[in-house]
Structure formats: C-alpha cells, structure tokens
Amino acid sequence: MGTWATPFTDEDVSRLEALMAEPLPASRAADVLYDLVGDDTLFDAIVSAVEHDPDGDVRPLVAITLDEWTNWMHPESFARAAKASPAIRVVPFDDGCWERLKTIAGGYEGVDLASIVGAPLVPDTIEGAKATFSALWTDERDVPELEVAKTRVPGVYAVRVADGEISRVEILYGVIAGADPRLADELAASLFPAEIPAPTVGR
C-alpha cells in the first residue's frame, strides 16, 4: 500500500473538513482528494464505488483511511513513516490537526459498505473478520484464541489475541494491520469491555 498525500497542515485539514461536511460523490472523489488523502487502498475503493454507483457518497471510505492513520497509529510513527516517503514532505502535524482528523473519521457508524462499493471481499461480520485474521496462521490447529469487536467505523473490526496484541481488519479487501503497541491499552479499553468479575458466593 502506498500513501502520497496526507493532510498535515491546518489549511489542508480545513479543506478536508469542508469536503466531508457534504456528500462526496464517487465520480469526483479522486480529483478532490488526490492531494489531501492520497492512498492506494482508498483510491482502489473509490474506483469500485464509481463502478457500483458514480453518485454514491464515499465519505465512509475516507473515514476508513483516516481511522487507520489516527486511531491505530501513533502520531510519531505516522510522521516517521511519512518522512520516509519521497512523496510526503510536510511533517509534523500542525497543532490540533491529528485530533481533528480523528473527529473527521467518526460519524459513519452503521453505514453498509456494500451500498457504496458492492460486495466486499470479506463478509461484514464478526465471523468474517475472525476467519480473515485466522487465515494468517498456516496451521489451523495453532490459531490462537481471538476476541473480535466491531469498531464504530464501517467495515473495520478489532481482533485481540490472548497476549493482548490488537490488530485491525478491514473487510473491504481483507487488509490486516497491527495496532501501534503504544495504543494497545487505549484500544482495548474502548473496543473490548472489561470482564465482569464472577459473583462472590456468601458463606
């Protein structure tokens, strides 16, 4: 996956906020997003959306990309990766931009991705996400115990294995990425409810 444009500056984030304030038709999304949120996976999804319904609103697809960047990567890791890219030259983020991008990523819970791009590669279910993650293990007998939770972003699931490691599964293309370890506790607290202690039996 390649990324060639990210909204690091206050001006760029403001432009993106304005774009995301109204429906964004698939047919014009690539042109208006190219120098703001330039990402191979996002643009592949936009192509699928254009083929499915050129007038369909692709803002949830943008939210999926922003979610990956802001909720699953630490700002320092993201800036370091961006600095290594010859296409991205603006680092670090202007003050407050990271938090604003997180906000833009929200607000699309419950959107059916199939209505935007047609059938995704992976069934949009807990079972689909679990099966996709489990496919990482070549020997099915060694697949660890998994907890799977649907996130608030369309088509994105969280998977936690027994050692506490958390990964992100996107059902659109079956993309799996590990969470930044520095965010594991925060993600676990928000995505996996604490276990309820067993009741104490009185004597």
Chain position carrying tokens 């067993």: 198
Radius of gyration of the chain (CA): 18
Count the alpha carbons within 13 Å of 7 in the hemisphere toward its beta carbon. Answer: 28
* Per-residue burial over 102-130, b = 16 or more CB atoms within 10 Å of its CB, e = otherwise: eebbeebeebebeebbeebebebeeebbb
98 compared with 88, residue with greater pLDDT = 98
Asked if the model's pLDDT at residue 33 lies above 80, the reply is yes
The predicted pLDDT at position 199 comes to 44
The predicted pLDDT at position 176 comes to 92
Closest by CA position to 39, among listed 74, 20, 67, 9: 67
Helix or strand (DSSP H, E) at 42: helix 40-52
Asked if the model's pLDDT at residue 198 lies above 60, the reply is no
Task: Please state the pTM of the whole predicted model.
Answer: 0.87
The predicted pLDDT at position 51 comes to 97
Asked if the model's pLDDT at residue 144 lies above 70, the reply is yes
60 compared with 136, residue with greater pLDDT = 60
> In this prediction, what percent of the chain has a pLDDT beyond 90?
64
